[in-house]
Structure 1
Amino acid sequence: MNEMTKIETTLKDWETDQEVRWCPGCGDYAILKAVQRTLPQLGCDPSNTVFISGIGCSSRFPYYMETYGFHTIHGRAPALATGAKLANPDLDVWLVTGDGDGLSIGGNHMLHVLRRNVNMQIMLFNNEIYGLTKGQYSPTSREGTKSPSTPVGSVDRPANPASFALGAGARFVGRGFDVSKNLPDVLKAAHAHQGAAFIEIFQNCIVYNKDVFDDFAAPKGAGDRQLWLEHGKPMLFGDPKTGLDKGIALDRDGLALKVVDATEENWEEAGVLVHDATNRVIAHMLVEMPFGPFPMALGVLYDDPRPTFEASVAEERAKSTAGKTANLAKLLGTGQTWTVSGTAQDPV
C-alpha cells in the first residue's frame, strides 16, 4: 500500500451541490462540517476518498461529500467497505453508521471489520434512538427511554459502543460529540492510525431524543463533566477558566478508577494517571466509567496499531502466487472433468 499523496484543497472542494436534508438543528450538520474542514487539513484527495454508509439518518452522509460514495443496505456497510479496501487498498475509506445501523442489524458486520483490522475510519453517530424510522428505542437507548416501541420505558441495558469496539479487538477507539471543537482532533488521530479506527460521536437528535447528552455536552460547566484524553498527559479535568482541579487515579485496593482532587501543580502527588493510549486495560476502565461520579471520557481512548487485514491478504497472495504463471484454461481443466456429447434432440 502506498502512502497517501497529499494535495491542497479547501472546504468547498468537499461540498456537493446536493441540498443537505436533515432536521433543522440536527447534530449531523456539525459532524458534516467537522469532516469537511478536517479533510483539507489532512491533505486528502477527493478522487481517492470514498464514504460508505448503511441505512439511517447518518447514512445520508455520502450524498454530501464530493467524493466517491456508496449508500448500502441496513447494517452491511462494513462488509462493502471491506470489499472496497481489498479491491483497492490505496483508497481512503470512511465508514458512516449509526447506533441502530451499526450495533443492531449490523452488529456482527461491525465486529468483523474491527477484529480483522481493515484500514478505514469508522464514524458511529450515537443519538441513542432510531431517528429515521421515527423514534423507536435503539441498542444504546438508556433504561427507561419512552418511545413508540417502548411506551412505558425501555428495560434493556444499553450497549456501550466504545466498550463493544474494544471487546471486538479494535486497535483505535475514540470519542467525541457533534458540536465539540475537539472533534476534528479525534478525526485526525483516527486518520493517522493504520487499521480500523472506531470513533463514537455523540449526536443530538433534535426531534426524538433532544438534548439527551446535555448532562455532559452542554457548554455551561462542561469542564467538570468532560475528560479530554491526550496521550502522555495527566488525566485532569475541571473548569479551564479557574484551573483544573480534579483527576483520575487508580484505586489500588479495588483495582478501579477514582476521582481525586488535583491541580496542574500537584497531580503527581495526587496519583493522577498519565494517559497511555496503548494501555488496553485502562482504556476498558475509561469507557466503563459511570457518568455522574465520573466525567465522560473523550478524545483518543486507545491507539495501538497492528498489521492491517488488507496488508496481510496482499502478503498472502504474493506468497501463494510467487513463481507461478496464471493459466485459467489449465485451472478449469484440473481435477474431475467430463465431456457432454449429443444434441438437444437426443432423449434424456
Structure 2
Amino acid sequence: MSSLLTNSTAMTALQTLRSVSSQLSTTQTRISTGQRVSTASDNAAYWSIATSMRSDNAALSAVSDSLGLSAATVDTEYTALNTVIGDKDSGLTKLQALLVEAKTAGIDRSKIQADVTQIQNQLKSTADSATINGINWLSIDTTPSSSTATPTSFNLVSSYSRVGNTPTIGSITVTTATYALYTTGGSSTTGILDAVVGGSTGASVSSINIGALTDSATDQTKLDGYIAQVTAAIGSVASAAANLGAVKNRISTNTEFVKNLMDSVDRGVGQLVDADMNQESTRLAALQVQQQLGVQALSIANNSSQSILSLFR
C-alpha cells in the first residue's frame, strides 16, 4: 500500500542512518581522545578502576619527587662525611698524621698546632655547609623543646601502595644522632667531633691543642690519647658514611622501582581505556560508507512519494 502520510521505507532508512551516525560519533570521539572509555557512561567499571589507578600514579609521582629530594639530601651529607674523613692532605686522616708526627722528640709542636687548628676549622666549616633545603644532619641543634631544634629523626618517603581504600606510605627512617659531628644548644656536646673525652681535663677532636706539649712522659701519654681519639673518630665517621651509603643505595633502588611501577600502572590503564587505533580507523571507514549509503537510501525512500503524484495527473 502506498501512503502519503506514512512512508515506512523512509522511516527505516532514517533509523538506520541515525544508528550509523551515532556509531560514527562514538568512533570519532575515540579517535580524537585516543580512548574507548573516556567517561563513566562509556564503561562505569573500567572508568572507575582507571581513575583510581591514575590517582595512584599521581601519588607515585609525588613519591618519585620526594625520593629525588631525599637522594640530594643524603648525597650532600655523604659527600661532607667523606670530606671530613679526608686523605693524607686533609681531614681527620691528615689530623691523625699530624698527631703522630707530633710524637717526634724535639719537634716544634706549636707549628704543628697551627696546621691542626686549620684542619679543625675546616672540619667545622664542612659540617656547617652540609645543608640542603634547610636540613643539616652533621651540625645539629639539640636545644630542648625549641622550634629550631633539629628533629631526632627524619622519615624519607620511599613508597606508596593502596589496598582497597587504605593507602600505605613507606619511609626510610634516618636517626640524626648517628651522623651528628657537632651539636649545639644542649647541656652537653655529643657529636662525634665535639664530644669531650677524658672528663673535665679531656678534650674533643675539635678542641685538641698540642702547642704546649713537651717530650715528657705525661705529655707523650696525652698525645697517645689524642691519636687514639682521632682514630676512633675516623672509625665513627666512616661508619656513619657507610650507613648513609646504604641509605643512598636503597633510595636509588626505590627510585628505579617507583619509575618502573608508574610505567606498569600506565600500561594497565592503557589496557583498560585506550582505543585500538587500527580497529577504530577501519571502523571509521566502514561507518562513513554506511552513512553515505544511508543518506542515499533515505533520498530514494523520500523520492518514492513523488510517484504518488503521477496517479493524479
TM-score interval w.r.t. the shorter chain?
under 0.3
State TM-score, norm by structure 2. Answer: 0.21
Choose between structure 1 and 2: higher strand proportion: 1
- Select the structure with the greater relative contact order (CA < 8 A; seq sep ≥ 6): 2
State TM-score, norm by structure 1. Answer: 0.19
Query: Which of these two proteins has the greater Rg computed from alpha carbons?
Result: 2
Choose between structure 1 and 2: higher helix proportion: 2
